[in-house]
Amino acid sequence: MNETQVSQLPVYAGNDLGAVWRSSATAFRLWAPTACSAALHRFATGTDAEPEAADLGTLAMQRSEGGTWYLELAGDLAGQYYQYELQFPDGTSTVTADPYAHAAGAGGTRSMVLNQAAAVPDGWQKDERPAIPAHARSVWEVHVADFTADPASGVPQAYRGKFMGFTVDGTTLNGDGVHPTGLNYLKRLGVTHVQLQPIFDFATVDEVSGEDYNWGYDPLNYNLPEGSYATDAFHGEVRVRECRAMIQALHSAGLGVVMDVVYNHTYYSYSWLERTVPGYWNRRWENGSLTNGSGCGCDLASERTMVRKYLVDSCVYWAKEYHIDGFRFDLMALHDVETMNAIRAALDALPGGEDILMYGEPWQGGSTRMEHGAIPANKQAAGLLDSRIGFFCDNTRDAIKGGVFNAGSAGYINGDMHCGYQVLHSIPAWRGGQADFMPQAPGQVVQYVSAHDNYTLWDKLKCVARRGDYAAPDADLLAQNRMAAGIYLTCQGLPFMQGGEEFARTKHGDHNTYRGPLELNRLDWTRAAQLEELVQYYHGLLEIRKAYPELSGMAGDAEPCILSLPGWLIGFVPERRGESLPGRLAVYYNPERTRQWAALPAGSWRYLCDGTRAAAEPFGPACRNAIELAPVSVTILKVE
């Protein structure tokens, strides 16, 4: 389907696509303008293998406005399953689930009519997004199964690796009553937001057996939760209720929930979307072949009107019906700027929507072909994106620890001190024009050193040091780990970390565990207890971040004052409009393997962080004029 053909298709602007349930009737509406006939096929169950399976018949749908097909059926249809059957002028036909479905049966091939009110946990009506100041925000990334799959987590077996695993509070390591795990651990760590790797329905895990593992970047049904994370995958309302219960539990703990969304591609080239309007949804080269900017061979054409509408509608649905606090966009540069800004505007229009986070990966996985002069939402487009659409800063990541595509390449903290130039630019969130991108505000920059892709921070440090015993807690590498965290948690922007970074999480040198095994991916709660001092160090840094808004740059037009120091030492004083905020700080980075002396600004100073300990309240003796910095460390001082 070329651009001319696309432009001739009718578009639908209504908000009632999918199955709209009422107790007295359900209305079905599908956008399929190129079909010559459409029918609704109903079933009693989501699969034919269930005892109550029955074919409830097929009914013709009527052509309606904006290229849609419509059918309204009287009665309470909640819990019934359905598919659409379409015929096209060229004689081809398709059977498809509903792209706008809000529930589905096991395997996700049959959509389910959902009564939203019957699929909520107790107290859901009172659930609210926690109010978290911009300067205090920090994000901790985790996979649903990884979080509680460890038998030592103390979570009941039926809930391990499930949405409901997040709802179990008070757990400790093997029930020892001392070392927190799961939600109990998160409440104490000090992060403010939990980013969940994909929780929408994805294709590659058997929802019934639960024997497979995948990160979930293989979308099947965008607007309903993954069934393998539910205690019952067969009844579509269960996954909806339990996903909401997870979010409710995190909210009750004061934590925001960020949803990792993968709108840049579909797993199958014959996705539900493509089956409804063949040739419309995916980008293609001029010869008709699919573009592969995602590495999956089927990029969604976000610049097309109904694709853009689909993305906007989907984000708004999750925000409204699941109270989601933020969205992380996988391969965001495969989306166009106009679509990303449209999503931002639609979220802003919701009650409290301006506080919903939006950020993504500002890169692609290959070449694609955008139409109509669309502009990719990459770093270079930062000035065109809404200033509250952020992006992961790989410049900061690689400067601190070394490049991700060369296991042995070092960064500022572990051998290549020349990376200090880039670290200097990281402090004000790259707003000085020293790179090929220019953020509008600190909040656009996600500062981090590890995420689910590539090596864990700990494994990267081991690779650079050429040490194969990944489990061993080497003292010098622990210092590098602490320093890495100290840098990005004192840089302006939004700090982000992979779950477990704070206890030197290892995958034993495997840099791409997207297909498992679970045993390699799951959080090792025993290691969290063993490396409790490192966890407490992260906790202290997070508390400092909350207590001193000037560090984030989001308390105003902050511009750090860089101190003049010898060698590769870096020091700065956070400032606001030329005047220090109350509780003025001084921050020092020492990448050297020996102690170094550094001059202090005028005044009497005490530690908030000495390189091994961190706390929001000052500790240690006061010092003036100069300070001795520990090897491979970040030092944070507060003036008295």
Q: Which long-range contacts (CB under 8 A, 24 or more apart) does 532-537 make?
A: 532/179, 532/503, 533/612, 534/478, 534/481, 534/482, 534/502, 534/503, 534/504, 535/189, 535/502, 535/503, 537/482, 537/485, 537/502, 537/612, 537/613, 537/614
Q: Cα(592)–Cα(615) distance, rounded to whole angstroms? A: 23
The yes-or-no answer on residue 338 being catalytic is no
String of DSSP letters for 252-274: HTT-EEEEEE--SB-SSTT-HHH
Answer for the pair 421, 468: CB distance below 8 angstroms, yes or no: no
Name residue, tokens 């560090």. 551
Choice among 146, 313, 325, 330 that is catalytic: 330
String of DSSP letters for 141-204: EE-HHHHH-SGGG---GGGTTSGGGGG--S-BGGG-SSSB-HHHHHHHH--SEEEES--EEESS
Cis amide bond preceding 495, omega within 30: no
The token duo for 409 is 């390449």
The token duo for 412 is 């500022």
Choice among 361, 459, 501, 502 that is catalytic: 361
CB-based contacts of 557: which residues, under 8 Å, 6+ apart?
Answer: 576, 577
Cβ of 156: how many Cβ atoms within 10 Å? 13
Give Cα separations from 40 to 11, 45, 60, 629 (angstroms): 21, 15, 6, 71
Answer for the pair 607, 614: CB distance below 8 angstroms, yes or no: no
Give the Cα-Cα-Cα angle 289, 295, 301 (nearest 5 degrees): 55
The yes-or-no answer on residue 330 being catalytic is yes
Which sequence positions are flagged as catalytic? Answer: 330, 361
